[in-house]
């Protein structure tokens, strides 16, 4: 790399900050172009006469912002920046204009993992081997025994779920498993608690099966247990990463929820749709472990692999699993054998665990790029999962969605996740399926059209409860497939 870089030890900025600024400027003005390889941190440090830590910190910051891209075993490269063109937006001062990037096809809606990461030898090998499995004349409604055994081991080591094979049913996804459960245990008119805001597809399933929906409020920590009524047959919850606000239900509330279920006789449905991905601490064990008799656990490969895999799992007490399997046969529902065998092979060889670890690091990088791009705006749920919420005033949401759609950036409004009247407004930003450069460009539009309030207060209305108070207890949105 033939680029003059000068670091001054007597300057007011740290050495790594100076290097970050100079490299960023070089990429912004075209002296470093997309695809160009940067020196290794060791070589760069030697040429500049600084420690390797200085270079590594600068590279890490530029990775997080999306300026750099890493290719396994081949070094560090300038990222492929999204195709842009400029248009002029009038500044409040008529003498000034501001240049804003225009992008083509950036999807920042929630529910989409990075499927390109699956193009690996392990992935291709698993599907080739799985294609050799002969179909069964009478498929087991519980799924392949070998896969159920591997899933039991996986859930035990990754989510703290201890379940025997007869407690596990292989489904077509978490939503499919929920539908089978509802069809087996609910009667028309049964009252079911759902998080508000919450997962729209779960509400659709309940309505279709004749249940009476009871919206239950959430806050930044998740479901407010003290607000649950006592006459529910079932409550559907996403405790590891509340959908969509992103709260992680703390242990006192988990214990209170299980105690509430024991007192009322209600069934708890735990949808653990992306519980493997947490960035501040290790993922919390699943709620299921607190009371396996009263909790039904739903998992899926939709986020850790891809929605098209079409494999999920349901875990419950044996007699409930048996009742669901009987209902499943009546509905002629089954999970195809080839995807089941492919997932079994990925688990048995340790490939799925390695993939999750790799994706956790990659999604952490994309999450950092999103948080940095939206710095100064009030964010919810940015410590876990594959999306976050930026809180905005209602009029700002409408304006941002419209302007972004005109420029090829697809966004999802928080309003669409409410069953009733929204108590909070904002945008649900998915960062898993977009690259850091796309994230940075798309979020720039959000910042352009929804600036933070001058007084520093959140631009949206009041949330479900005041922040920090933890009770003891446009285009259509991309519906997450689980």
Across 18-39, b (16+ Cβ under 10 Å) vs e yields bbbebbbebbeeeebeeeeebb
Q: According to the model, what pLDDT value does residue 86 have?
A: 35
**Around Cβ 427, how many Cβ atoms within 10 Å?**
28
What are the residues facing 269 on neighbouring strands? 236, 296
What are the residues facing 312 on neighbouring strands? 171, 300
Q: According to the model, what pLDDT value does residue 330 have?
A: 96
Among 3.40.640.10, 3.30.565.10, 3.40.50.720, 3.40.50.1370, name the CATH number for the domain at 119-353: 3.40.640.10
Q: Find, among 6, 66, 83, 74, the residue nearest to 38 by Cα.
A: 74
Q: According to the model, what pLDDT value does residue 152 have?
A: 96
Q: Find, among 438, 441, 417, 440, the residue nearest to 427 by Cα.
A: 417
What are the residues facing 235 on neighbouring strands? 193, 268
3-state secondary structure of 40: coil
Burial class of 395 by CB neighbour count within 10 A (0 to 12, 13 to 18, 19+): exposed
Q: According to the model, what pLDDT value does residue 325 have?
A: 97
CATH fold for the domain made of 15-78: Arc Repressor Mutant, subunit A (1.10.10)
Distances (CA, A) of 248 to 357, 377, 380, 385: 20, 20, 11, 10
Count how many Cα atoms sit within 13 Å of the Cα of residue 182 in the half-sphere of its side chain. 28
Count how many Cα atoms sit within 13 Å of the Cα of residue 435 in the half-sphere of its side chain. 17
Domain ranges of the chain: 15-78, 119-353
Burial class of 104 by CB neighbour count within 10 A (0 to 12, 13 to 18, 19+): exposed
**Around Cβ 390, how many Cβ atoms within 10 Å?**
26
pTM: 0.76
> Which residues lie below 8 Å from residue 327, measured CB to CB, with a gap of 6+?
180, 183, 184
pLDDT averages per 10-residue partition of the chain, 482 residues: 82 88 86 87 91 90 74 72 38 34 71 88 95 90 97 93 95 97 97 97 96 96 96 97 94 95 98 88 84 97 94 98 97 96 97 92 91 92 93 92 88 94 95 88 85 43 36 46 68
* 76's tokens: 């560090």
């Amino acid at each position: 790399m033939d680029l003059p870089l000068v670091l001054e030890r007597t300057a007011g900025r740290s050495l790594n900050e100076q290097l970050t600024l100079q490299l960023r400027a070089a990429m912004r003005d075209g002296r470093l172009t997309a695809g160009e390889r940067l020196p290794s941190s060791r070589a760069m440090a030697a040429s500049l006469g600084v420690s390797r830590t200085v270079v590594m910190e600068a590279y890490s910051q530029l990775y997080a912002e999306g300026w750099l891209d890493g290719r396994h075993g081949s070094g560090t490269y300038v990222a492929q920046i999204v195709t842009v063109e400029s248009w002029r937006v009038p500044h409040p001062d008529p003498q000034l204009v501001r240049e804003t990037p225009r992008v083509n096809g950036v999807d920042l809606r929630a529910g989409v993992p990075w499927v390109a990461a699956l193009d690996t030898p392990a992935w291709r090998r698993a599907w080739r081997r799985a294609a050799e499995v002969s179909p069964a004349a009478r498929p087991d409604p519980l799924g392949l025994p070998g896969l159920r055994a591997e899933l039991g081991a996986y859930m035990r080591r990754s989510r703290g779920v201890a379940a025997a094979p007869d407690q596990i049913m292989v489904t077509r996804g978490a939503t499919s498993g929920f539908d089978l459960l509802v069809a087996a245990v609910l009667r028309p008119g049964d009252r079911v608690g759902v998080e508000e805001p919450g997962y729209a597809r779960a509400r659709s399933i309940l309505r279709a099966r004749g249940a009476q929906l009871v919206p239950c409020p959430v806050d930044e920590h998740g479901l407010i247990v003290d607000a649950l009524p006592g006459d529910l047959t079932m409550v559907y919850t996403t405790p590891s990463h509340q959908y969509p606000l992103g709260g992680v239900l703390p242990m006192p509330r988990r214990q209170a929820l299980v105690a509430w279920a024991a007192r009322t006789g209600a069934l708890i449905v735990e949808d653990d749709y992306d519980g493997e991905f947490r960035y501040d601490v290790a993922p919390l064990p699943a709620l299921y472990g607190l009371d396996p008799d009263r909790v039904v656990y739903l998992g899926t490969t939709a986020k850790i692999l891809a929605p098209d895999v079409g494999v999920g799992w349901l875990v419950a007490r044996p007699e409930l699993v048996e009742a669901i399997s009987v209902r499943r046969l009546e509905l002629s529902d089954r999970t195809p054998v080839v995807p089941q065998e492919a997932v079994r092979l990925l688990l048995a060889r340790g490939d799925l665990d390695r993939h999750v670890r790799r994706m956790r690091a990659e999604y952490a990088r994309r999450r950092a790029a999103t948080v940095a791009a939206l710095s100064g705006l009030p964010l919810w749920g940015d410590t876990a999962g594959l999306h976050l919420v930026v809180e905005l005033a209602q009029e700002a949401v409408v304006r941002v969605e419209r302007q972004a759609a005109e420029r090829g950036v697809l966004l999802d409004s928080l309003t669409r996740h409410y069953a009733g009247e929204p108590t909070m407004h904002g945008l649900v930003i998915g960062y898993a399926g977009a690259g850091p450069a796309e994230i940075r460009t798309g979020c720039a539009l959000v910042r352009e059209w929804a600036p933070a309030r001058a007084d520093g207060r959140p631009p949206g209305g009041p949330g479900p409860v005041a922040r920090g108070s933890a009770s003891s207890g446009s285009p259509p949105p991309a519906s997450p497939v689980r």
